[in-house]
A and B are shown apart, each in its own frame.
Chain A
Amino acid sequence: MTNESDNEKSERELPLIKPTRDRKIIDVDTSNDSFIYVPPAPRLQPPRPWPGPPRREEDEMTIG
């Protein structure tokens, strides 16, 4: 009986965690709790990339 009451007493006397310079208690804004981030749905992409610009005659001459 005495042991139980001692335990209760010691639990009650546990020191509260106080904010210090290293351990800050941050105020969390709960007003926007309903907001859930949904990443944008991936768009249907073409099966292959579209071909680039046509080659200019000068380029073809250089390659040739």
Chain B
Amino acid sequence: MADAQILMKAQTVNDEYRTAALNRKYYGCRLQTVKRQNLTCEILLAFSSSSAVAAWSLWQTETGSLAWKILSAVAAIIAIVKPLLALDKDIERYSELVVGYAALYYDMRKLIADAKINSGVAAEDWARFESFQQRMAALGVKDDLRARQKLHDRCYDEVLSEIPDSALWWPLEEIA
């Protein structure tokens, strides 16, 4: 019974470690994507509103004139839609999540390394782990309500290959 409990605790620690790694990776990708989207919007808006660019003789040609009209229309739509998309808020939230999960990932990695070295987890280490879980729950409030499935699956597979079973702490020797 006690063995099963230790194994269950080890499974919980390992799962949380892998989840922190997964979320760090997933939100890192999301942050990168949203930052890129925001930058594209900003460049388009700046480009279309620049009088220096508008004065280029390139726009005087037939094709250039059409291109300028399309660019202006796209920029007008972006100017309307961008505040509604709230990309700035997403960037802020994803940044907090990446930093939070990265800190948890390194803390849990240390905890697992300690457990492997000491062949077990001391009471104060469990207390440490509980504080990690609290931090994880606090971050969970800011989590995406629905994940981008393909990205999430890809990150999951990457985490599995980066953190194999051998990199985790399993109290098998202690139990045996």
Taking Cβ atoms with an 8 Å cutoff, the residues of A that contact B are 40-44, 46-54, 56, 58
Chain B: interface size category: 20 to 34
A sample of 14 cross-chain residue pairs with beta-carbon separation below 8 angstroms, ordered by A number, consists of: A40-B137, A40-B140, A41-B143, A43-B137, A44-B143, A46-B152, A48-B156, A49-B15, A50-B15, A50-B160, A51-B160, A52-B11, A54-B172, A56-B176
Q: Could you tell me if A53 and B165 are in contact, using CB atoms closer than 8 angstroms?
A: yes
A46 x B19 contact (CB < 8 A): yes
Which chain B residues numbered 137 to 151 have a C-beta less than 8 Å away from chain A?
137, 140-141, 143-145, 147, 149
B149 to chain A, nearest CB (A): 7
Interface residues of B (CB under 8 A from A): 7, 10-11, 14-15, 18-19, 22-23, 26, 136-137, 140-141, 143-145, 147, 149, 152-153, 156, 160, 165-166, 170, 172, 176
* Chain A facing B: main interface SS: loop
How far does the alpha carbon of A44 sit from the alpha carbon of B101 in the complex, in Å?
A: 12
Total contacts A-B at CB 8 Å: 53
Chain A residue nearest to B171 in the complex (CB): A53
Contact indicator A53/B172 (Cβ below 8 Å):
yes
CA distance A24 to B100 in the complex (A): 52
Q: Do B176 and A53 touch (CB < 8 A)?
A: no
| B92 to A: closest C-beta gap in Å | 17
